[in-house]
């Protein structure tokens, strides 16, 4: 009985809405995350151009009398502080190479993101076309099945009355079986296209 519920195969969302959802699907979100990571790596690659600042504090004691004291003589206490600023002027072009590599990685990630969005749109358009075609085939095959059932009824009555031959009856049965097989295939194609669309958008329709 579930196979007869062709209304469940239909997609109620509009094509424009599905295309927008495809551009937010799992594959596109993965590409967005990769592009963001590449952007942050590109920013991090420029940190060697910044100076480094270090601050130090030291304290020492000296003993002026015989004996042992843990902290020495407070009268001979010495406190020193230092502030250092380091800036690398040249490091064999390693910084430049890292920045260039990170920039190229970021550009490649952005290109991959654009490709992922375009690919998602292309696949969505393709699967929508397949789904619409399958839906039309389901309607056509439903009418073919109804026509085949009516023809089989007529041929059965004619055969029972002796006005028809067994060959005509078998031919009508074969035609009805073919129509039912075509309807099953059309429903399968519609379900497959629907599943592909759900995989693209990462959610149920």
Determine if residue 55 is left, alpha or beta; phi over 0 gives left, psi from -120 to 50 gives alpha, anything else beta. Answer: beta
pLDDT of residue 67: 58
pLDDT of residue 61: 67
For 145, residues 6+ apart whose C-beta sits below 8 A from its C-beta are 176, 179, 180, 183
Half-sphere exposure of 156 (CA within 13 A, CB side): 8
CA 118 to CA 201: how far, in whole Å? 14
- Predicted TM-score (pTM) of the model is 0.65
pLDDT of residue 1: 45
pLDDT of residue 29: 92
Q: Is 84 exposed, middle or buried (0-12, 13-18, 19+ CB in 10 A)?
A: exposed
Residues of the chain with pLDDT under 50: 1
pLDDT of residue 75: 58
DSSP state of 91: S
pLDDT of residue 68: 55
pLDDT of residue 149: 93
pLDDT of residue 109: 94
Counting every residue written for the chain, the total comes to 205
CA 40 to mean position of chain CA atoms: 21
């Amino acid at each position: 009985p579930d196979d007869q519920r062709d209304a469940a195969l239909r997609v109620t969302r509009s094509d424009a809405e599905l295309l927008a959802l495809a551009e937010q699907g799992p594959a596109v979100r993965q590409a967005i995350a990769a592009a963001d990571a590449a952007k942050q790596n590109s920013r991090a690659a420029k940190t060697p151009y910044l100076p480094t600042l270090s601050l130090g504090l030291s304290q020492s004691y000296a003993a002026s009398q015989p004996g042992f004291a843990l902290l020495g003589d407070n009268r001979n206490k010495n406190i020193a502080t230092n502030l250092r600023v380091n800036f690398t002027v040249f490091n064999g072009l390693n910084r430049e190479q890292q920045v260039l590599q990170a920039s190229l990685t970021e550009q490649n990630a952005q290109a991959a993101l654009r490709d992922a969005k375009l690919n998602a749109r292309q696949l969505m358009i393709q699967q929508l076309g397949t789904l619409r075609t399958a839906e039309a085939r389901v309607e056509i095959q439903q009418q073919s099945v109804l026509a085949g059932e009516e023809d089989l009824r007529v041929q059965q009555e004619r055969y029972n009355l002796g006005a028809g031959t067994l060959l005509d009856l078998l031919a009508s049965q074969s035609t009805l079986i073919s129509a039912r097989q075509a309807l099953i295939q059309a429903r399968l194609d519609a379900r497959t296209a629907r599943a592909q669309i759900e995989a693209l958008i990462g959610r149920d329709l």
